[in-house]
A and B are shown apart, each in its own frame.
Chain A
Amino acid sequence: MMYSLLPFLNSSKVKVLSLILGSLYLLNLCRCTTQTPTPTNSLESVPYQTSPYSLMVPEFFPQPQLSEENPLTFEGIALGRKLYYDPIMDGKGNRSCSSCHIQGQAFQINNGSHQVVPHINMTWTTKFMWDGGFEGTLEEVMIFEVEEFFNTDLSKLNNNWEYRKLFKGAFNVNEITSKEAAFALAQFARTLNSTDSKYDQFNRGELSLSPEEMKGYMLFFNEKGDCFHCHSPELFTDNQTRNNGLDMNPDSGYFAHSKDPQDVGKFKTPTLRNIELTAPYMHDGRFTTLEEVVEFYANGVQNSPNIDPLMLHSSAGGNKLTPEEQANLIAFLKTLTDSNFTTREELSNPF
């Protein structure tokens, strides 16, 4: 069209026209600059496309607790992993989940400053916290973590373009709320699974235990050692709250939630998986070594008024294992250490 007009234009007209066209072009450029898509606009171009993640449930393990409302996806898990390791979650900005849940320490922390519950096999858990006072789904726990424990400043997440895109891709939301943050964390938490210790390999018939470990295994799984009813395989916890006779006048424990005097001193049976790595021990961290723990169960049990009946030897003060038997039991407990879990790349810090 322009070319066809040219013969009818003289040079001055051409100059004027060029000026006009040039100005229009520049205006257009300016307009482009000022109209750089805002995050909200361009989020629409971020596809919501998720790939379902199938959680591997090893042989002999019970069925995990999954969520129909929050199905596992590769995108949700990857996002949850970033959040787990990012202090952006903390309303005060200096802690992440991983500050107190360190992979090399089986997602617990050994510094003794405070006693945290290790993040191990939570997909099989319905009672959370040391006193078992939080009963519900992982999603509900994580909403508590986001809204109350961390008091997450959601505007920080919403002002972070990278997170906006990741949440759009994983949950199809333009604005991040505590629900999606919790759901992403719950998805990652469902993959923090320790299922490949030496014990598991033995259980699958892939290797033998040493003579000491085998003696410890037999003690663990008979009523002399009296461990297996509460620390029941394959999770090595029954997910119940019980009073194991730490004190004659124990801490309140689950009583704080139920107000039932029968629940005084009841704390959640901790998993023994990776127990070698998760010192200090008990809800108050009173024991620093496994030797101290096993000695407590041998000779230090207090026959407190509402001690759990599964503590078979409580009236005798413990199971009376000899030092050699105690050493064998500890040798077995160490077969529950899972180096795959503590080093696996997919669970590590992505930053």
Chain B
Amino acid sequence: MKKPNLVVLILFLSLLWGCTKNTPPKIKSDLTVSFTHTVHEHPVVLNQMQYINANGDTFSIKTIKYFISKFTLFTENGGQLTLPHYWYIDINDPESLQKNLLQQIPHGTYSGFSFILGFTNEDNVSNMFTSNPEYLMFWPENMGGGYHYQKLEGQYLKNGMPHNFNFHSGGLDKTDYSIQVIENLPFTASQNLHNLTINMEIQNWFKSPVTWDFQYFGAGIMQNHEAQETIQQNGHDVFSFTILK
């Protein structure tokens, strides 16, 4: 058998090396998505009985956990690009507050984006998560199965006495109460790192169109269709956005 010519082999390998180094410039951008949470436009301070909602109830916040799914970009020509991700956000877990989408946004100009708070019924499948913390967001089978969209928990005062509230939303009895958020905020994806900040204003959950009354809805609302529908309606202006280049 003829021995391979060493010179040819070295030339060939150097050619391969050269190819690796000459990777074409990336055509997709990085996007960092940061999640922030405010009450009256100030960052949430947990466990402090210091907030007053539209109904006049004093309340505190202890837990904010939720899912964002189907993050979709609108292209200029009317197309849509849906990223194959869901995001789990927990205000008590700093790492969960920033998502890095590396080289996933094709260069170009976009007219806006949308996402779902929680999961649409088609995506809300029981047992799809096998590890914590997502696993613990389950929604019981006897209430329709799948996962909580959101757990917002704390206490409110009534006649000076603290009462717990669990502002939990989800697909009750297979009714889809997920919230679609659409934002027409144009931006251009270029080679620079982009940052999108998604802010949740907690007060807006309790304000419009329905003034939320903790006493009326009660502490637990998972089996209350009226409450779930109200949360879905009030969710229309909960999120606001900032894009930084």
Residues of A with Cβ closer than 8 Å to B?
60-63, 217-218, 221-224, 226, 228-229, 232-233, 238-239, 262, 303, 305-315
**Candidates B132, B141, B142, B164; contact of A312 at CB < 8 Å:** B164
The residue in B154, B220, B221, B222 that gathers the most chain A C-beta atoms within 10 A of its C-beta is B220
> Cβ of A221 and Cβ of B161 under 8 Å apart?
no
A sample of 16 more A-B contacts (CB under 8 A), given A62-B135, A228-B140, A311-B164, is A62-B130, A62-B131, A62-B132, A218-B142, A221-B140, A221-B141, A221-B143, A222-B223, A232-B138, A239-B132, A303-B162, A306-B47, A309-B155, A309-B164, A309-B165, A312-B164
> Cβ of A310 and Cβ of B164 under 8 Å apart?
yes
Interface string of B203-235 (1 = CB under 8 A from A): 000000000000000011111000000000000
B136 lies within 8 A of chain A by Cβ: yes
| Chain A hits for B140, CB < 8 A | 221-222, 228
Residues of B with Cβ closer than 8 Å to A?
47, 62-63, 127, 130-132, 135-136, 138, 140-143, 153-155, 161-166, 219-223
| Chain A hits for B153, CB < 8 A | 309-310
| Chain A hits for B63, CB < 8 A | 309
Closest-CB distance, A205 to chain B (whole angstroms)? 12
| Chain B hits for A226, CB < 8 A | 220
Closest-CB distance, A255 to chain B (whole angstroms)? 14
- Contact status of A312 and B127, CB under 8 A, knowing A221-B140, A239-B132: no
- Contact status of A222 and B143, CB under 8 A, knowing A62-B131, A309-B153, A309-B155: yes
- Contact status of A223 and B164, CB under 8 A, knowing A62-B131, A63-B131, A309-B63: no
The residue in A62, A239, A306 that gathers the most chain B C-beta atoms within 10 A of its C-beta is A62
Q: Which 6 A-B pairs have the closest CB atoms?
A: A223-B220, A309-B153, A221-B140, A312-B219, A315-B163, A309-B164
> Cβ of B142 and Cβ of A307 under 8 Å apart?
no
